[in-house]
Structure 1
């Protein structure tokens, strides 16, 4: 049974009312990666984008909805390859530099001026790789709750375990229950919205996550013997995060701001290493978990404005 089409922006009026702001214009965009895979994004607000938003592993562009509303500026929020409405990579290579190479032409196509690029988790590492390789696209860089060399045994392992569940479900309600059991998604209303926007109904009526990481993690959980080869290909989230180095950040010429959730993935040692290697970077700590864009959208919007929008 095919899924009945729905308006993915139907949640925006309620979110805008909760935030006390007008409902912005919104549209879904499509283009193609260099090898022909579809790439998709959301454009929110009138006018050319000033801010480009890159989500974390297992999420999608809609994770930024409330932050975009709080910003009140035109934004471009991408579905990273392997996520949302963007196509999956056949080689399952979701390392930051690979993703940056995929999305750079799309960002150049959809924008006309250097962007304040904001990336959370895997999106933060991708944003750093993008800024290093394509400085002409990046006005300022905001990295949310991630740093190179993150300990794979730390907070990111929770997400890997969450992904390693079944690849398909009888209903979205089951997926919401699983997310809440892992402490993900916020309250039930927010979790239901997040699951609805991050899943799809197959022809057989079963429901599956849109992102590729669920399939990858399930395969690794079912065949631990495949882990060595998979890690070599950087197929696991933890492997991707641990393997990403400091070279890209060292090459970034734009101003850099790190936003750390005090209940997120970064340890004090991670932040100290970041400060040592990038002494000119701004460091902002907020009272949040890993998904700052969902827990503190207004506070994150203020930080983004301070980091690169105040002079526009």
Structure 2
């Protein structure tokens, strides 16, 4: 039986939507402090769009969206996720992550990007656009605003990851994801778990991303897994300063069943009056629930050729 790797799923995903299998390669660079930053480069031409995933996800969350989009792109693994190094200080907040994204854009792109960020990636994208507008042609923020209520949807994710840190098999992780209503279909959940986990030398399976280990450590220290403490830093209201300073065209994509309420969206526009708000009939992970719709929306708000 052929060995499964991170690109083994792409032919079937492409065939399912009638698209050719694209060229995708993993790229890595070493940051000044020795950490590794990793990502996926889609296509042979220089990227036109760069995508940043949410907390607890990785660059592969965009696979089906990018198959629909059909454009050269760069999907990054944010620090602490995927194949990028964990941070020793566990500081996974937008303004700390933004300089690493800037380094990636300077290294791997040749033109200002349409920058698409989901959740934590959206807040990070705002920090990038605010600090380096020369690198960002347009910003698309998917289902996140600074300061949203962390006792709602974000707390569910914390509870999901605040379980054991290692498992006997990936099948156990798939069952856990499905029991929390995450991952969509079983096939999609299996694919997501493969991309988001690794097999240790002892044969046990663990999450790749640091968030799961931090959440479990908090519970072991006596914290209630339903409390929002672990996500407060990520959702800090200081992110509004970045949103207000974005000068490039800005779009907020809200999932009807996602984290962003109508009031949150109104506040977003109040803080950034030039921003537009679009809505998809999805939950928080719009890129996985309606990748075709999100790809179409990206093309509509940011014509990319």
Which of 213, 216, 237 is the matching residue for 2:214? Answer: 216
Indicate the residue corresponding to 1:96 in structure 2.
94
CA distance in 2, matches of 1:305, 1:143: 14
Aligned length: 302
Deviation beyond 6 Å, 4+ runs, structure 1: none
Give the corresponding residue for 1:247: 241
Per-residue CA deviations over 1:161-194 (Å, capped at 9, x if unaligned) read 0110111001100000000111100010100000
Q: Which residue of 2 aligns with 1:114?
A: 112
Q: 1:177 to 1:281 in 2, by over 3 A?
A: same
CA contact (8 A) 2:52 2:76 kept: yes
13, 31, 34: which one aligns with 1:33:
31
Partner of 1:186, secondary structure, is coil
Aligned-residue offset at 1:243: 4.6
| Contact in 1 for aligned 2:251/2:278 (Cα 8 Å) | yes
Q: TM-score, with normalisation over the residues of structure 1?
A: 0.93
Structure 1 residue 33 displacement after superposition: 2.2
SS at match of 1:224: coil
Residue of structure 1 equivalent to 2:152: 154
Give the structure 2 partner of residue 294 of structure 1: 288
Q: Please, which runs of 5 or more residues in structure 1 have no aligned partner? A: none
- TM-score scaled by length of structure 2: 0.95
- Aligned-partner Cα distance in 1 for 2:302–2:9: 28
Distance 1:225 1:121, change over 3 A: closer
More off after superposition, 16-25 vs 52-61: 16-25
Whether the 8 Å contact between 2:48 and 2:73 is mirrored in structure 1 is yes
Would you say the 8 A contact 1:33–1:106 is kept in 2? no
Matched with 2:255 is 261
CA positional deviation for 1:225: 6.2
Gaps of 5+ in 2: none
CA distance in 2, matches of 1:243, 1:274: 12
Alignment of 1:275-290 (within 5 A): 275-290=269-284
- 2-structure distance, mates of 1:305, 1:224: 46
Q: How much has 1:275 moved relative to structure 2?
A: 1.8
